[in-house]
Chains A and B, each alone.
Chain A
Amino acid sequence: MWDYSEKVKDHFFNPRNAGAVAEANAIGEVGSLSCGDALRLTLKVDPTTETILEAGFQTFGCGSAIASSSALTEIVKGLRLDDALKVSNQDIADFLDGLPPEKMHCSVMGREALQAAVANFRGQEWKDDHAEGALICKCFAVDAVLIEETIRANGLRTVEEVANYTKAGGGCSACHEGIEEILVRVMADRGESFDPNAVAGEIKKPRTLLTSLQRVKRIEGLLEEIRPNLRRDRGDVELVEVEGKNIYLKMIGACSGCQMAATTLGGIQQHLVEGLGEFIRVLPAEELSRRTAMGG
Chain B
Amino acid sequence: MNEGIYLDNNATTQVAPEVVAEMLPFFTEQYGNPSSMHQFGDRVGRAIKQARQQVQALLGAEQDSEIIFTSCGTESDSTAILSALKAQPERKEIITTVVEHPAVLALCEQLEKEGHIVHHLKVDKKGRLDINEYYRLLSDKVAIVSVMWANNETGTLFPVEEMAEMARSAGVLFHTDAVQAVGKLPINLKETSIDMLSLSGHKLHAPKGIGVLYLRRGVRYRPLLRGGHQERGRRAGTENSASIVALGKACEMAMAAMEYEKSSVKALRDHLEKGILSRIPHCFVTGDPGNRLPNTCNMAFEYVEGESILLMLNKLGIAASSGSACTSGSLEPSHVMRAMGIPYTAAHGSVRFSLSRYNSREEIDRVIEALPPILARLRKLSPYWQGDGPVAESEGAFAPTYA
Contact = CB atoms under 8 A, between A and B. Distances in A.
A50 interface: no
Nearest to A100: B329
Contacts of A65: 305, 326
Contacts of B312: 13
A130 B403 contact: yes
B98 to A, nearest CB: 17
B382 interface: yes
A49 interface: no
Interface in A47-88: 58-66
Contacts of B307: 62-63
Interface residues of A, number: 42
Interface stretch (A28-36, A195-203, A208-216, A220-228): A28-36
B176 interface: no
Interface stretch (B201-209, B277-285, B330-338): B330-338
A40 interface: yes
Interface string B331-364: 1110000000000110010000000000000000
Interface string B320-333: 00001111011111
Contacts, number: 112
Contacts of B344: 33-34, 36
Q: Is the interface of A mostly helix, strand, loop or mixed?
A: mixed
A17 B348 CA distance: 24
B171 interface: no
A92 B330 CA distance: 21
A31 B381 contact: no
A33 to B, nearest CB: 4
Nearest to A38: B400
Given A35-B325, A36-B348, A102-B329, A29 B399 contact: yes
A135 B344 CA distance: 20
A145 to B, nearest CB: 11
Interface in A119-140: 126-128, 130-135
B383 A62 contact: no
Contacts of A132: 331, 403
Nearest to A135: B329
11 contacts: A30-B400, A31-B402, A32-B400, A35-B325, A36-B344, A58-B383, A60-B383, A63-B308, A63-B326, A103-B329, A126-B401
Interface of A: 12-13, 15, 18-19, 29-40, 58-66, 100, 102-103, 105, 109, 112, 116, 126-128, 130-135
